[in-house]
Structure formats: structure tokens, C-alpha cells
Amino acid sequence: MADETRAEKQSWSQFTEKELDYFRSQFLRPYRSTLAFTDWLAELDCVRPGTEILDLGCGMGEFSNHFAKTFPAVRVLGLDNNPQLVAEGNAILAGTGVGNLSLALGDLYGLEAHRGKVDGVICTQTLSWLPEAEAPLASFADTGCRWIAVSSLFYAGPVSAKIEVTDHASKAGSRESRESFYNIYSLPATIGFLNTLGFTDFEHRPFDIDIDLPPPADKGMGTYTVELKSGKRLQISGPVLMSWHFLFAERGRADGRVSGA
């Protein structure tokens, strides 16, 4: 039953046009989180020319596309377990001329074929939509990669929340609603777990969006912002506060440094 639940909520067989547009639109205009995450990795100076980077849970490759353009001296392989997204992503990418990027079907829980071949693993906006964080992170680490970078919902304290959402406003074909996880993981607990996997150097940063987003007309799941008196914008989706953070973990540094906002 656990495997069936994981498969059901990790991969959807039907999509609404709104959901597909979420992926497609980023090829024309990358989202603010995509720009900020890529810029942050550039600041960390972690991307080595001539290496291979895995982008796991890549969807149509919309983040992979921006990353590959930003770092043309690396090879980027995007993996996703949904054939519709991979096929449409490859069709879009065929006309972009991005030669250092390819997309393929793949299971982020089964990366044995990539062991010893990748320098870095990226996972954006996916970890919180899985049943839990430790199994996928252990799978990423098992590739032998030097570093892992994720964007996910995190809480900067010793508390995690498992959240299961049923979006009754999202119907596609025979699908009456969209079911998904919106888990929020403890940042220090996640760092502690990665430390047990051999990662010793950590960076993390909250993502604070700098533009206003309107609420969805159907009042379903879809991120919008509310501005506080301080000027900071809260990101909200349905009933869930979207506490986005970036987390970077690297192996092998002697100082075992942990830093971040």
C-alpha cells in the first residue's frame, strides 16, 4: 500500500491545461524561484565544468533548460517518471538549440545506473510532494555525487509537518480531484540526516519572492502572495503557507560548515 500511495501521488496520469501551463510557461519566462535558485548555485561556485548534473523530478525540463543555459560547460540530464511530461519537454527542447541538456524517463528512487557518473544532483519543487524526504535523499546520495541542492518547503526548526491535500477544484478527464503531498520538513533534521550520508558542508537560504501573485480564480491550489507591513511577501497555496527554502549539501570539507540565513 505504501508503494501504491507513493506512485499515485508522485505521478499523475492526467493533467489539466492549467497544470501543463505551469511547466510550459517557464520556457518563455523562468519563474522567480528558478532564477533565484540558479543564481544562488552560481554564487556557491559548486558547478564544475565538464561534469554531469542530474535534475530529478524535472517535469518538462523547464528548470533544466534554464540551468543548462546558465552553465553551458556541464552536461545536464533531467529525469522524470511521467512519460507525458518528458515527451512534451523533449519536443519543446528540440527547438531551443540547448545542446548540453537531455530528458529521459527515470525513477528518482532507482538511480543505480548513474552511480559514480554525476557530480551534482538537483531537485527543485519536488521533495515536499513526495511521501517523505529521507528515502529520496538517500537515493540521491547513493549516486556518489559530490553535492545535492534542493528547493523545498522547510521549517527552520525541529518540527516537520506531513500535509496531504485534496484539490477539488482540479479535475482532468476521469480524475475528480488532485491529491498530493505538501510536506514541510525540518531544516535542521534534514541537515542532520544528510550528515549521516557523508555530507559535511551545508548552505541554506529562504526564498523570498519579490513580485505579487494574485490568488487563483477557482480558489484551489495555486501560489499567491500576501504582503506584510514589513514589505515581505508570504507565499500561500490554498490553505498551506509555502515556506520555500534552498538547501545545499556537499561532501568532504574538513570544517563541516553550516551556514545560511
CATH of the domain at 154: 3.40.50.150
Whole-number pLDDT of residue 95: 83
Whole-number pLDDT of residue 177: 83
Residue-wise pLDDT for 169-210, tens only, equals: 888 777 778 889 999 999 999 999 999 999 999 999 999 999
User: Per the structure, how many domains does the chain have?
Assistant: 1
Task: Please tell me the distance from the alpha carbon of residue 143 to that of residue 82, in angstroms, as a whole number.
Answer: 21
| 170 within some domain | yes
C-alpha grid cell, residue 185: 520538513
Task: Please tell me the distance from the alpha carbon of residue 136 to that of residue 127, in angstroms, as a whole number.
Answer: 8
Q: Residue 261: name the closest of 201, 194, 208 by CA.
A: 208
Whole-number pLDDT of residue 259: 64
Whole-number pLDDT of residue 258: 57
Q: Pairing mode, if any, of strands 178-181 and 52-56?
A: unpaired
C-alpha grid cell, residue 219: 480558489
| 69 within some domain | yes
| 221 within some domain | no
C-alpha grid cell, residue 95: 527547438
Sequence-distant (6+) residues with CB within 8 A of 48 are 74, 119
| 143 within some domain | yes
Residue numbers of the chain with a pLDDT score lower than 50: 1-11, 254-255
β-partners of residue 203 are 248, 259
Task: Please tell me the distance from the alpha carbon of residue 114 to that of residue 193, in angstroms, as a whole number.
Answer: 22
Sequence-distant (6+) residues with CB within 8 A of 216 are 169, 222, 224
pTM of the shown model = 0.91
| 232 within some domain | no
| 214 within some domain | no
User: Nearest 5°: phi and psi at 98?
Assistant: -85, 105
Residue-wise pLDDT for 2-28, tens only, equals: 443 444 444 466 787 888 888 888 888
Whole-number pLDDT of residue 10: 41
| 225 within some domain | no
User: Nearest 5°: phi and psi at 40?
Assistant: -65, -40
Task: Please tell me the distance from the alpha carbon of residue 202 to that of residue 3, in angstroms, as a whole number.
Answer: 31
Task: Please tell me the distance from the alpha carbon of residue 182 to that of residue 133, in angstroms, as a whole number.
Answer: 12
Going through the chain in order, the beta strands assigned E by DSSP cover 52-56, 75-80, 101-105, 120-124, 147-155, 164-167, 178-181, 185-186, 199-206, 223-227, 233-237, 240-241, 244-251, 258-260
Whole-number pLDDT of residue 254: 47
| 147 within some domain | yes
**What range defines the domain where residue 38 resides?**
2-207+244-260
DSSP code string of 67-99: HHHH-TTSEEEEEES-HHHHHHHHHHHTTTT-T
